[in-house]
Amino acid sequence: MAVLEWKQKPVDNASKVPALSNWTPIIGFMLERTTSIAALFYYKLVLSVQVDDASGEVLAKIKQRRNGYSDDITNNKARAFFDVREIVNTRLVDTIVDQNDTTIPFKSIHTLGANEDATKILSVNGDKNFGFTQIGTFYFKGYENYSSAANASPADVTTNQIVYTSRFLQASLPLFTPRSTDSEYVQSNAFDVFNMNSDSDRFLSDIGKGLNPTSGNLEYLNYIQETDYHTLAFLNDTTYYASEAHNFLIKYYDSANAQIGATQTIANSSANGGEAPSGTITPALSLLYFGCGAANLQAQDATTGARPSNFSN
């Protein structure tokens, strides 16, 4: 058995969802020393938080004495919970403006396609001016701090260190969404409905349910006018999120629910401001925005055939 173990982690990486930094009141790690500390003095558990990987910028180093869990006290073991919510949020930002723009004032993310570069109907996330993203990779290292003698100062001991890497997203879920019942993870897998790898998965943007005139079922629909701008956000990474949004199919219908003209395709590609979801995907590319409103589609030059003005009636 390892000397140090993660007894709780933010999220199960195998579930292919990011850890949400704004959903639960605390989100972090329970670190446990599984062997006796009876011969150690001034004992503390330590967690360091770094950006990206072991060579990344150190955001914080937290030292804690063991908590009062009765089994640990009886058996001279130690554990402590480290809340990293506010730490990771110092490097995560909302996406406010179109990241394709190069001149001030930058235009809104919601008017994609009608901004500085009309060929870009998609945008990466974050704020490139500060070098921060809305979703980020963080590297966590657990180790110890103690002295082997009562008359010696304690020091960091990394002999038994353990590490964990995960991606965090500055996002939340509805307040009453059930949390995890698995004691190993703080967050549940409720976010996997946004994985974008099945017909039932959803975009991240808020939309309501409406009656689909074709199926007669209540489904997630959004209604917009010809002059409305609208942007949808989605996860975009097969490795971390199993998300497979490669293309957007644009169809126009008349009031009788008959399709007008041919279906148009807009690729999730770098030429259009996005990136195909497979391969090496950076945090900036792993969450994308797509301008799908009638006004966005009318203004864009990525696929001119998808403009509403091409479809009469």
Per-residue pLDDT band for 15 (boundaries 50, 70, 90) equals confident
pLDDT at 257: 86
For the chain, what are the domain ranges?
Answer: 4-91+134-169, 109-132+192-306
Residue pLDDT, tens place only, 256-301: 889 999 999 999 999 999 999 987 799 999 999 999 999 999 999 9
CA-based torsion, 272, 276, 277, 279: positive or negative: negative
Per-residue pLDDT band for 222 (boundaries 50, 70, 90) equals low
Residue pLDDT, tens place only, 146-197: 999 999 999 999 999 999 999 999 998 888 888 776 778 888 888 888 988 8
Residue 102 scores a pLDDT above 90: yes
pLDDT at 149: 96
Looking at residues 42-52, what average pLDDT do you find?
97
Looking at residues 89-100, what average pLDDT do you find?
96
What's the CATH number for 4-91+134-169?
A: 2.60.40
Per-residue pLDDT band for 206 (boundaries 50, 70, 90) equals low
pLDDT at 1: 61
Residue 220 scores a pLDDT above 70: no
Q: With b meaning 16 or more CB within 10 Å and e meaning fewer, what string describes 115-153? A: bebbebbbbbbbbbeeebbbbbbbbbbbbbbbeeeeeee
Mean pLDDT lowest for which of 17-21, 113-117, 170-174, 197-201? 197-201
Residue 72 scores a pLDDT above 80: yes
pLDDT at 87: 97
pLDDT at 218: 74
Looking at residues 40-60, what average pLDDT do you find?
97
